[in-house]
Amino acid sequence: MSRWLVSNVPGLLLLLGLIVVIVGTSIGLQAYLRHRSFHVKSDATKFIPVMATVFAFSAGFLINNLWGQINTADAKIRDEGAAGVQLARDLAAFDKPDQDRLRQSLLEYQRAAEAEWSLSVQGQSSPAASDALWRVYETYGKVEANTAFQKTLLSTSFANLDKVSQARSERVFTAATDSGPPWSVWAVIFLLGGLIMGWSIVFGVTDAQVRFPVVATAGALVAGQVFLILQLSHPYVGEIGTSPEPLLEVIRVLTAPSP
């Protein structure tokens, strides 16, 4: 569900929707209780900051861990792109026929990998990308290295190709197994957020002029935290997720005019 929301609903619209739902429901419930002349005067208001602190700490801890996953995914896709760019630049060391075959093979794979990126939203991989990667290995295996320099670069190219293959495998596996935070984490987040909103409504301030703004502010804060958790839950999906820009850079290098 969280993957679908992040991948299909624009970020701003999702944030506004969460604010409207949480704040609107809270204010509506408070207005209903006020209409029924239901309000509890109690020292329980002293516990609201404590619960807010616990909620902020729990959500912040989760957000920090999810942000770490995004950074890890960013680092891996940059490594994959860097290895691809190095492969493209090392083509100049080989004979012209080998250069042309390698460039075409690498270009086919990179375009297949770029097309595969959109499938990661559904946690899927592309057989076409796997086949294209295998053809790259075959093409490098047919290269005739006639000099010591070419032999060295051919060995280096195989090492970089292994890096590309490993990075893609990790990216595909991560996307396939990515289901976001487990239900138990969401249960805790909604429990703490619900307690904050419930106590703000029932045990909140007695001044009628600031009662609704206080509840609306608390609701907006809870909605903001839930929005951040949603956006950071899936490393390859959403506006905060990892970008395929390093893969596109490899394509630009491969298609750039020869000097």
* pLDDT tens figures, 164-210: 999 999 888 888 888 788 888 888 888 888 888 887 777 665 665 66
CA gap 150, 244 in Å, rounded: 31
Q: In terms of Cα–Cα distance, which of 8, 75, 30 is closest to 199?
A: 30
Q: In the numeric block, which tokens belong to residue 101?
A: 């075959």
pLDDT recorded at residue 40: 53
pLDDT recorded at residue 84: 93
pLDDT recorded at residue 200: 77
pLDDT recorded at residue 39: 56
Total-model pTM: 0.79
pLDDT recorded at residue 219: 87
Q: Block means of pLDDT (10 residues each) for the chain, length 259 residues?
A: 80 90 85 64 62 82 89 91 93 90 94 87 82 94 89 93 92 83 87 83 64 82 90 85 90 83
Q: In the numeric block, which tokens belong to residue 142?
A: 């047919």
CA gap 235, 224 in Å, rounded: 19
Is the C-alpha dihedral spanning 2, 229, 221, 198 positive or negative? positive
pLDDT recorded at residue 134: 95
> SS3 of 144, please?
coil
